Amino acid sequence: MIVIPAIDIMDGRCVRLLRGDFGQRKSYGATPLAQAKAIEEAGITHLHLVDLDGAKQGTPKNLHVLEQIAGNTSLVIDFGGGIRNIDDAAAALNAGASRVNIGTFLFSGADVPARCTEHFGRDKLIAAIDINNGKVAVHGWQTQTNVTAHEAISSLFLVGWDLISVTDISRDGTMQGPDPGFYTPLVEAFPEVRFIGGGGVATVSHLLQLKECGLYAAITGKAIFEGTITLENINKISHK
């Protein structure tokens, strides 16, 4: 399992939200670039970069930060937040992202998932499925749909998506630990999908629980800033 540190950006700062609530955010002192450099210096190869301003406003707002990190590190960056059309995804890739996380846009039309894979190829894409109370949430987690995780994953896999990030919003930012029962049924139901998990990770044991679920990768953000998981811990657990 690859362990991917996360940097969430809002107003140019590294922040973390509680359960996706923009009104409950905590800012941290390191700049996004400084944090990214620290991640690289620890021997870690991947970064999950989230544009929270973009997620809230519906269009990427921090591509300049992506460019800065991509231009000053060799990290494999997956970028998300506010990508609501093909042009937004292309702009993120051109700014230095190795892959783009697409969430809300995927649920904007029945033909969108296939259009994305046809345009970019599946290796450049991560489907970002955010789950709240068993259903997909969109628009920066602010809007609930009636689509279940299984329904979303099934339809995406049929048109070529095999790298899928599933976030348990109820756990995100809480540091109370992940729910293995949330991920195990998905991994068992879709053995050919590479799942990325996260939400609530606070300790090394939480990461090991996710590894036991059979995930391809796990994301952790707040625990790093709070110091309960070190970058050295991540480097030891993660395979390259």
Q: Which among 8, 51, 78, 172 is annotated as catalytic?
A: 8
Q: What CA–CA distance (Å, rounded) separates 233 from 240?
A: 14
Owner of token pair 């690859």: 2
| Contacts (Cβ under 8 Å, ≥6 apart) of 221 | 5, 6, 7, 8, 16, 48, 198
Q: Which among 88, 130, 168, 172 is annotated as catalytic?
A: 130
Rg (CA), the chain: 16
Tell me, yes or no, if 51 is annotated catalytic: no
Tell me, yes or no, if 11 is annotated catalytic: no
Q: What CA–CA distance (Å, rounded) separates 105 from 56?
A: 13
| Contacts (Cβ under 8 Å, ≥6 apart) of 30 | 14, 38, 225
Active site residues: 8, 130
